[in-house]
Each structure stands twice: as C-alpha cells, then as structure tokens.
Amino acid sequence: MKLVVGLGNPGLQYAGTRHNAGFDVIKELVRRLQPGKSMAKFSSEIWEVFTEKGKVFLATPTTFMNRSGEAVQQIAGFYQVLPENLVIVCDDINLPLGQIRWRASGSAGGQKGLADITQRLGTDKIPRLRLGVGRPPGQMDAADFVLARFRADEREEAEMMTRIAADSVEAWIAEGIVSAMNRFNRSSEE
C-alpha cells in the first residue's frame, strides 16, 4: 500500500498558487487514474486507486500547509503506511520554475508543510517530490510569493511541470524511488 500526499492550502482563494503545486499534481493523477469519488476523512480529501502494484491512496490535506503533518499522521497511522511507502509532493522556492527533484529523505529545506510532517512522523526518511516554483523577485517576501498565482508567462511551464511530476509519481508507484530519481531528476537545462 502506498500514499501520495500533495501539499497546499484549502479554499478557492489558494487555487492556482505556487504553494498549491502539490495539490495540482494530485488533481492531475486523479484525472488520469479516475479513482472515483473522494472521501473526506483524516482532515483530507482522499482517493483510493487500485494499481498493478497494489492499493494507492492519493490525498490533499484540508489543514493549512503548516499543519500538514496532522493529516498525514492520521492517514499513515490508520492505513499503516510505512514512511518509505509515502511520498510528499510540495513546492520548492529553491528550484527553478519547472524543475522537479526526487529525494528519498533529508531536511525540509524551509518547506513548512514538509517540516511539520517529518516532525509529527518522527523521521526525515520520507520520500519527497519537490516542485520548482522559482525564487521571489527582488525583496519580495517568500510567503507572499508562494501564495501568489503563477504569472501568465509562467503558466505553460507550471502546467508542464505538473504533468511531468505526475508521470514521475506513476513511475514511483510502479518502480520505486531509485527509478523515479534516475529518470526524473534533471537539471533545468535538460
């Protein structure tokens, strides 16, 4: 059993923002895998998918980003999902727009949702897929930047990143973390 959690903030006012890039990947996976109706439980919206590799849960927490660990702890605990069978999909201002990066473990790198998850689960050995949303321009506050929507000239790149990230999650489900890292961790020039 595997669990894919996309991070973001609930509510229409946050739809399409950089901080909700994780939600966008889950939405793309739901579109592709057509799991049926979602369930509202464990402070999340959850879809259940059956794949050749077994059952997979897709989830978007309905807590706000900084409290994502609350939802993930509930889901992982109830379904007894081990940390290595969980992947967190989240935005990252330290990556250029459009670049994705898989990691098997490590620090939260300033991503507060990921930090809350690792703190609540008591381990940083949780696979994560970081989605490059770019750096704030000039002196712009990072929080304001991630809560802003992609500019018109960035939308195509952001949409392509969402599709590639969904491809990579499907590879993780089918082939594991090493395959996902080898196939999808590339420099922005590639």
Active-site positions?
19
What is the rounded distance in angstroms from the CA atom of residue 157 to the CA atom of residue 146? Answer: 16
Long-range contacts of 28-34 (CB under 8 A, 24+ apart): 28/162, 28/163, 28/165, 28/166, 29/4, 29/58, 29/166, 29/169, 29/170, 30/58, 32/166, 32/170, 33/58
Other beta carbons within 10 angstroms of residue 137's beta carbon come to: 7
